[in-house]
Amino acid sequence: MTRRNPNLAKLQGGYLFPEINRRKMELLERDPAAKIIGMDVGNTTQPLTPFIAAALSRYAAELSTPEGYSGYGHEQGLNALREEIAKSYYRGLVAADEVFVSDGAKCDIGRLQLLFGAGATFAVQDPSYPVYVDGGVIMGQSGDFKEELRYFDGITYWPCTPENNFFPDLQTSPAADLIYWCSPNNPTGAASTKLQLQELVKFARTHRAIIIFDAAYAMYIQDPALPRSIFEIEGAREVAIEVNSFSKMAGFTGVRLAWTVVPRELCFEGGEPVITDWNRIMTTIFNGASNIAQHGGLAALSDTGQAEVQGLISFYMENAALIKGTLEDLGVQCWGGKNAPYVWARFENCSSWQAFEHFFEKAHIVTTPGVGFGPSGEGFLRFSAFGQRHDVEQACERLQKLLR
């Protein structure tokens, strides 16, 4: 008989969202008329913008002509798109051939784990996007799950809470081979300052660790003093990889387009360049991002596309301000929502799941229990600003009725 990958058995209760969906189904069975408002998932809701949508359609139509047809492209992506990302997004901080275009930041995070293999140890912000931990567990980079403490043995959790301004004390933090760092952070909405990222890079250089910097929400940063890329930090090219995406920037959650930057200076312990192995992985198990999506990406990075993208981002950030304002008026302590589309709310004297149940049962509002993102998320809920305006407004009214 074929044996199950034992690492999969270590994953607890599956991914967070299937459990939330199970509860939604259960409620609808009990009360089919319930008008549930989802403030849980980070899925975009606004339609694609006209200029970008036209570029996608135009290229799809071109593919239906003999002259315009193209099959497989370069696994690393269209040269024009790699160049545009290097030039307009990074303003020359990275080179086009260091940019690897892909079908998603989540997929790239999974493939990056292949790059380092089962022997690598890793540190994560606690709480963090569950894919870092779950992916590492599947890869065999952890021990077993400790039910009572809600963490996996062998993984270094760096608590990032309001008490430490969402940044660990690196003087006392244990190191690991890999450091996953997400800024602006999902779920807390905390965006790291330049000083914090300088400290992080210094730490990685001292411990010869590699930072996997997830910048999927970088375009949501409103404060111009906050870095949008780890490569804005001096010395990062020797210690960091950056993952980024068109998903939250341009509403490409369904279109699928992302990229990863691996600088040429980044090397393994033995001096081998990481970029060579990344190229090998991408050319072996990936066959290039959709050519239609890549033309949409090119449009998104143009001046007109960027103006449209800013409109989308402003819309979601207005949602975030509405949610945060409502909760704060009701005396709930909140963070995030300023440079990220997530509001991180603390509920004293109750667990995340108890708080979740309260809003779900009493107001039919779905949130995400903070503990699902790591042990330090206990007692918090994440409110997502991705949603239709009328839903957000209605959710705020329900919150006012419930908490007043």
> What residues make contact with ligand PLP under the rule CB under 6 A?
42, 104-106, 129, 182, 186, 214, 216, 245, 247, 253, 258
Between 247 and 368, name the residue whose CB sits nearer to ligand PLP: 247
3-class DSSP assignment, residue 301: helix
The nearest distance, CB 30 to ligand PLP, in angstroms, is 29
The nearest distance, CB 331 to ligand PLP, in angstroms, is 28
Between 106 and 324, name the residue whose CB sits nearer to ligand PLP: 106
The nearest distance, CB 128 to ligand PLP, in angstroms, is 8
Nearest of 50, 70, 72, 51 to residue 60 by alpha carbon: 70
* Alpha-carbon Rg for the chain in angstroms: 21
3-class DSSP assignment, residue 246: coil
Between 111 and 364, name the residue whose CB sits nearer to ligand PLP: 111
Burial class (CB in 10 A: 0-12, 13-18, 19+), 109: buried
Residues 6+ apart with CB under 8 A from 97: 76, 82
Between 84 and 326, name the residue whose CB sits nearer to ligand PLP: 84
Between 386 and 399, name the residue whose CB sits nearer to ligand PLP: 386
- H or E element in which residue 63 lies: none
Nearest of 186, 149, 144 to residue 375 by alpha carbon: 149
CB of 367 closer than 8 Å to CB of 356: yes
Half-sphere exposure of 301 (CA within 13 A, CB side): 21
The nearest distance, CB 11 to ligand PLP, in angstroms, is 18
The nearest distance, CB 33 to ligand PLP, in angstroms, is 31
Between 106 and 295, name the residue whose CB sits nearer to ligand PLP: 106
Query: For residue 173, which amino acid is it?
Result: S
Query: Which pair of structure tokens corresponds to residue 372?
Result: 């699902």
First CA to last CA distance, the chain: 59
The nearest distance, CB 180 to ligand PLP, in angstroms, is 9
Between 52 and 105, name the residue whose CB sits nearer to ligand PLP: 105
The nearest distance, CB 243 to ligand PLP, in angstroms, is 7
3-class DSSP assignment, residue 338: coil
Instruction: In whole angstroms, give the CA distance from residue 304 to residue 51.
Output: 7
